[in-house]
Amino acid sequence: MRIVLIPAAILFAAAPGAASQQAEAPAATPTGAPRNCVALTQIRRTEVHGDRIIDFVLRDGQVLRNELPLACPGLGFEERFSYRTSTGQLCSVDTIEVLRSPGLSGGPTCGLGMFQPVERAAAE
């Protein structure tokens, strides 16, 4: 995943792929209490799993799973989104916008959920 900084916004992008549109999120076990916010400086990358789950991988290797309250159409297909914040944190009250392929108008805007620390199951 590549991170592109834009004034007042951060953009997370990955190559879109139809195969991952409804990708299952890796199994995970909660490891602590959910958080309302995560500092932008701590986010290393994101991994989109379908239209409802985003794993935020932090610089220290910790994973915060965000399960969106509602499905976000196109998120699993595009696997990229943007957001705007002026606080230096991304919080559960914030929204993301799905970034659509070039030439298409803006994508859906969707609300985030809580950031749940998890330990993902090892790949078999």
Best CA proximity match to 79, nearest among 49, 38, 43: 49
pLDDT in tens, 71-89: 999 999 999 999 999 899 9
> Which residue is listed with tokens 């592109």?
4
Per-residue pLDDT band at 110 (split at 50, 70, 90): very high
> Which are the contacts of 16, defined by CB distance < 8 A and separation ≥ 6?
77, 78, 79, 80, 101
Per-residue pLDDT band at 94 (split at 50, 70, 90): very high
Residue 3 has pLDDT above 70, yes or no: no
Distance CA 33, CA 107 (A): 31
pLDDT in tens, 8-36: 444 444 434 434 345 688 999 999 999 99
